[in-house]
Chains A and B, each alone.
Chain A
Amino acid sequence: MITETKKGKVEPKIIKPVKTRLSLKSKQSWTGILFISPWIIGFLAFFAYPLYRTVFMSFHNVSFGLKTGWRYKWVGMENYQRIMFEETDFVVAAQNFFVQTLLYVPVIIALSIIIAVLLNQKIKGKIIFRLLFFLPVIILSGKLMENMDTYGGMSLTANEFILESLYMIIPSKDVVLLITSLFELIVQLLWFSAVPILIFLASLQKISKEIYEAASIDGASPWSSFWKITLPMVYPLVSVCVIYVVVFLANFETNPINSIIMQSKYDGSRREGYASALSILYSLVQLAVIAILYYSTHSRSTKGR
């Protein structure tokens, strides 16, 4: 293994510079475009153009009649004004989303790093454990979560056995309630952390054991080798996960803002123009959350290195 990587590293660096560069570069730029062209076409047709239309519609009052077809009436900033200053439903929901996501995402990331480290251990039944932790990827849907919520699947308090045994250990009722509600929240967040776990696990598996061996020979304690080796190695992926999780939370079905947007599309006084303005504002809120989280994690990662 070691000799192979050495070969791979040394050889090309010696041969590369003079001969191949020029011809390769112009050729590569064409292949690059060729490789990416199917995506560009799809992107233009199903993303860039619709986005342009959405922006266009957000400044208009849109109406649809069977005979007249689509009609657009220029209203300027009126849609935005209504959302921001006259009607309160979006502003309140967006504030909630903003605060909630800022609090949830760091917890989700921390949980998934811890679980990824645990899953990377040599333990019995590793495959089954891994399977279980990736399960939410395939079954989590808004409908299911709502359903489970109404049937008491997510609350510990519905389970009398657990509740009573907790009371046995902890006498104070308030403390028990605090613990159970915290636990419920963590379980919910765990369901969102499947893909981050996957990403972290993949990068953990790439850390070679020799590094840990060398560190332990030099007298590093396990604790410090976690902070000095494991964490810096997976840290570059944190910002990737941040983006993924925020986008996932924002688009999740139980998110009230999505239903506000869908409903206003058919609401007589609002229609498509208003809905478009809503979705653009929502995207901006989401961008703000990502920007805050991304830069707060990003700068630390460069400092750490």
Chain B
Amino acid sequence: MSVVRSLIKFNPQKLHKDQWGFHLVLLILSLFMLLPIVFIVNHAFKPFTELFAYPPTFFVKMPTLENFRLLINFSAESGIPASRYVFNSLFTTTLVILLTLLISSLAAYALSKLSFRGKHVFNKVNTLALMFVPIAVAIPRFLIIENLGIFNTYLAHIVPMLAMPIGIFLLKQFMDQVPDDLIEASKMDGAGNWRVYWNVMLPLVKPALVTVAILTFQASWGNSESSSIFMDDESLRTLPFYMNTLVAQSGNIVAGAGLAAVAGLVMFVPNIVLFIVLQNKVMDSMAHTGIK
């Protein structure tokens, strides 16, 4: 009840009495949303005794930097410098995001606002593609990569990631909400399809674009499969693969658990940085973009 009541009281000057309720509910729930981060950070600083303690503890009691020292030692010993893997990851992830955004927004624009033969078929096909488990196509993908001749190149990291039906799906849903009148009006003013796409459509669906970018980043940044299946050359492999091998190579379970904890934190830091940078744009209300 009270939820809606305050919807109707516009621009409350002070904190309204009803709103304490919202704050309480949101606060409690958001505490639980914070749990994963608290856990990752805590986990990385745990000494061995706490990593293997029974019953397991959630919070760290005696934080150490030991795990970090281990990680640095191990990476100093390996043949290829860690910076190489970082570069590989950054390079491929950036390209994947840019190309995915371009391809899927172009396709989504066509599917949503242009009329051409076979449009409905494509629409259905994309929604169906969404529902087939990626594993269903993962098995023969290796053969295709080999036949295309991009085995053991950067392209093998990038190209398979570009076919992401979920990106087109989300973008199309947002573009469907942009009124046709707006598109027609700008066409009346002499804008061609490309111009409408670039100057009208893309700015309007910015929140969706950023969302897709974040989803793509996550998929690409954490992807260690392409390194292990499509790569032979060690110097072309990416950071998540490197982290996995470090943990596996460390030889004993104790060091491995510590390394895994730090690796989790290291892989997670770019995620949170990117998110904080982009969060403004994700939550930019669509109301301000003139779609209303």
How close is A76's CB to chain B, nearest CB, in angstroms?
A: 19
B188 near A139: Cβ-Cβ < 8 Å: no
Q: With CB as the reference atom, state the residue of chain B lying closest to A122.
A: B12
Which of A9, A39, A115 contacts B107 (CB under 8 A)? A39
A35-B106, A144-B36, A195-B211 are contacts. A222–B4 as well, Cβ < 8 Å?
yes
Total chain B interface residues with beta-carbon distance under 8 A = 108
User: For the complex, is B127 an interface residue (Cβ under 8 Å from A)?
Assistant: yes
A43 near B139: Cβ-Cβ < 8 Å: no
How close is B222's CB to chain A, nearest CB, in angstroms?
A: 7
A279 near B166: Cβ-Cβ < 8 Å: no
Which of A8, A40, A151, A187 contacts B58 (CB under 8 A)? A151
Which of A11, A53, A222 contacts B8 (CB under 8 A)? A222
Contacts of B185 in A (CB 8 A): 7-8, 11-12
Q: Mark A1-30, 1 if CB is under 8 A from B, else 0.
A: 100110111011001100000000100111
User: For the complex, is B56 an interface residue (Cβ under 8 Å from A)?
Assistant: yes
In the complex, A51→B127 CA distance in Å?
15
User: For the complex, is B103 an interface residue (Cβ under 8 Å from A)?
Assistant: yes
Which of A32, A187, A195, A279 contacts B139 (CB under 8 A)? A279
A222-B8, A258-B133, A272-B139 are contacts. A118–B211 as well, Cβ < 8 Å?
no
Q: Mark B11-35, 1 if CB is under 8 A from A, else 0.
A: 1100100010011011001101111
Contacts of A51 in B (CB 8 A): 132, 136-137
Q: With CB as the reference atom, state the residue of chain A lying closest to B217.
A: A138
A147 near B43: Cβ-Cβ < 8 Å: yes
A134 near B282: Cβ-Cβ < 8 Å: yes
Q: Interface segment, A81-89, A237-245, A296-304?
A: A237-245
B58 near A138: Cβ-Cβ < 8 Å: no
B166 near A28: Cβ-Cβ < 8 Å: no
Which of B111, B264, B274 contacts A144 (CB under 8 A)? B264
Residues of A within 8 A of B (CB): 1, 4-5, 7-9, 11-12, 15-16, 25, 28-33, 35-36, 38-40, 42-43, 45-47, 49-51, 53-54, 57, 70, 115, 117-119, 121-125, 127, 129-141, 143-144, 147-148, 150-154, 158-159, 187, 190-191, 195, 198-199, 201-203, 205-206, 208-209, 212-213, 216, 222-223, 225-226, 230, 237, 240, 243-244, 247, 250-251, 258, 261-262, 265, 272, 275-276, 279-280, 282-283, 286-287, 290
Residues of B within 8 A of A (CB): 1-8, 10-12, 15, 19, 22-23, 25-26, 29-30, 32-37, 39-40, 43, 55-58, 102-104, 106-107, 109-111, 114-117, 119, 122, 125-127, 129-141, 143-144, 148, 159-160, 162-163, 165-166, 168-170, 173-174, 177, 179, 181-182, 184-185, 188, 193, 197, 207-208, 211, 214-215, 218, 222, 264, 268, 271-272, 274-276, 279, 282-283, 285-287, 290-292
